[in-house]
Amino acid sequence: MFFLSTLEESIRLEPKDLDKPRADAISLVIEELFVDKIVQDLGLVVTLYDIVSIASGFVHHSDGGPRFQVVFRVVVFRPFAGEVIVGKIKRVSRAGLHVSLGFFDDVIIPEHYLQEESMFDEAEQLWFWKYVGEDGQENKLYMELDEDIRFKSKAVRFQAIPTPEELRKAREKDPLIGTAEKPLALMEVIGEVYSEGLGPVAWWMDDDEENEQMPS
Amino acid sequence: MAGTGTITSISAFFDRHRTACFLRQVLHERGAGDAKVGKARDSEIEVFKYLSTHSAGLRSREQIQNICEALKPFDLTQPEILQLVNLRPTNIVEIHLIVQECEARLDEARIEELLLIVKQHLGP
């Protein structure tokens, strides 16, 4: 889920921050720019890990703030293909399930990646799995909101920030603009729950486990 | 931030064993878990909260090294070891999920051994 990535950027300090210890002032700028932001084709930056090197500052013509060439490492969130992850079901629609990890909200389980024999209940607006038990009884196992769900990461999709030109051309329902309900997601994790052992965590727990406390 | 000496040695370790539980420790040191030390940003606190509910808790480097040693005889790949530590499986179905081609590589007895190791090293 998480890995270290080395980045190199030109970091500019405000003149007012020049009296602070160099590394601290630079760390703050890096954190503002990168933490909780998506880096295209890399992933979501979780935290600044450390600073590897700071090259001496250059002051450009008519700019009071010096620029430093900084090499630093960040911890990045991006699931690897086939990684098994637990999240919470946040939204359900005909299109599938939207799962959140708390710090990351754009996990999608499209309806064709649900367990075979999954159906959408229009009245409840929820998906359920039609499961035939050993006794031949047909059970409807619902995938409830806020339930813990275990999924496997199939793919990670990145969306480039739209250019002003693209935004101008976009029509009302264009996914590039996004809506209040479905804002533009720069990074999406597509997951599947059709393998055995995937889906709501409660479905696969042994009987005695359900009574155990979740260890912290 | 912790002293640069500690970070360089931890980072090499992190690279090889980039487990979620280790990240939790890093964030904890940044003040994510403790309101008083609190220098962590909101998003870092969110990641810490996720890791606290879903991974093996604060684990020292020795503990992680020990479990890697214990897992050697099972011939697991790096991603498989990573997921075992991150997910702490407690039943056979979860092992099948993590280990590719499980039926071919591990018989039921081996799976039970694996579950025992996970419980011993990463148990509650």
Tens-digit pLDDT string for chain B (124 aa): 333 333 333 444 455 455 666 677 777 777 666 554 456 778 888 888 888 787 666 566 777 778 888 888 888 888 888 888 888 888 888 899 889 888 888 888 888 989 898 888 876 6
Q: How far A59 CA sits from the closest chain B CA (Å)?
A: 27
**A146 and A59 within one domain:** no
Tell me, yes or no, if A36 comes closer than 8 A to chain B by beta carbon: yes
In A121-180, the residues whose Cβ lies within 8 Å of chain B are: 150, 152
Tell me, yes or no, if A54 comes closer than 8 A to chain B by beta carbon: no
Q: Is the pTM of this model over 0.90?
A: no
Q: What is the pLDDT of residue B6?
A: 34
**A169 and A121 within one domain:** yes
**A182 and A128 within one domain:** yes
Hey, are the CB atoms on B91 and A206 less than 8 Å from each other? Answer: yes
ipTM entry = 0.80
| Domain end marker among A77, A99, A131 | A77
Chain B residue nearest residue A198, CA to CA: B97
**A130 and A114 within one domain:** yes
Structural domain total, chain A:
2
The domain that holds A91 is classified in CATH as 2.40.50.140
Tell me, yes or no, if B83 comes closer than 8 A to chain A by beta carbon: yes
Q: What is the pLDDT of residue B10?
A: 41
**A99 and A53 within one domain:** no
pLDDT mean over A93-116: 92
Domain coverage including residue A114: 84-213
| Residues on chain B touching A204 (C-beta within 8 angstroms) | 91, 93-94
Q: How far A113 CA sits from the closest chain B CA (Å)?
A: 16
Q: What is the separation of C-alpha A199 from the centre of its chain, rounded to a whole number of angstroms? A: 18
**A43 and A141 within one domain:** no
Listing DSSP states for B81-107 in one string gives HHHHHHH---SHHHHHHHSTTHHHH--
The domain that holds A19 is classified in CATH as 3.30.1490.120
Q: Which of A29, A35, A46 to mutate to test the interface with B (most CBs of B within 10 A)?
A: A46
**A140 and A186 within one domain:** yes
Hey, are the CB atoms on A1 and B20 less than 8 Å from each other? Answer: yes
Distance CA B100, CA B102 (A): 5
In B51-80, the residues whose Cβ lies within 8 Å of chain A are: 52-54, 57, 79
Confidence of residue A100 (pLDDT cuts 50, 70, 90): very high
Q: What is the pLDDT of residue A113?
A: 93
Domains in chain B, CATH or no CATH each? 8-122 (1.20.1250.40)
Chain B residue nearest residue A86, CA to CA: B54
**A95 and A70 within one domain:** no
Q: Is the pLDDT of residue A83 over 60?
A: yes
Q: Which two three-digit tokens encode residue A186?
A: 């720069």
- Residue pairs between chains A and B whose CB atoms are closer than 8 Å: 88
- Residue with the bigger pLDDT between B71 and A100: it is A100
Are A19 and A1 contacting, i.e. CB atoms less than 8 angstroms apart? no
**A108 and A25 within one domain:** no
Q: What is the DSSP letter of B55?
A: S
If you average pLDDT over every residue of chain A, what do you get? 85
3-class DSSP state of B6: helix
Which amino acid is it at A150?
R
| Domain end marker among A35, A55, A77 | A77
**A208 and A141 within one domain:** yes
Contacts of B35 (CB under 8 A, 6+ apart): none
Q: How far B73 CA sits from the closest chain A CA (Å)?
A: 23
| Domain end marker among A52, A77, A102 | A77
Please state the three-class secondary structure of chain A as a single string: CEEEEEEEEEEECCHHHCCCCHHHHHHHHHHHHHCCCEECCCEEEEEEEEEEEECCCECCCCCCCCEEEEEEEEEEECCCCCCEEEEEEEEEECCEEEEECCCCCCEEEEHHHCCCCEEEECCCCEEEEEEECCCCCEEEEECCCCCEEEEEEEEEEECCCCCHHHHHHCCCCCCCCECCCCECCCEEEEEECCCCCCEEHHHHCCHHHHCCCCCC
Write phi, then psi, for A70 (nearest 5 degrees).
Answer: -115, 135
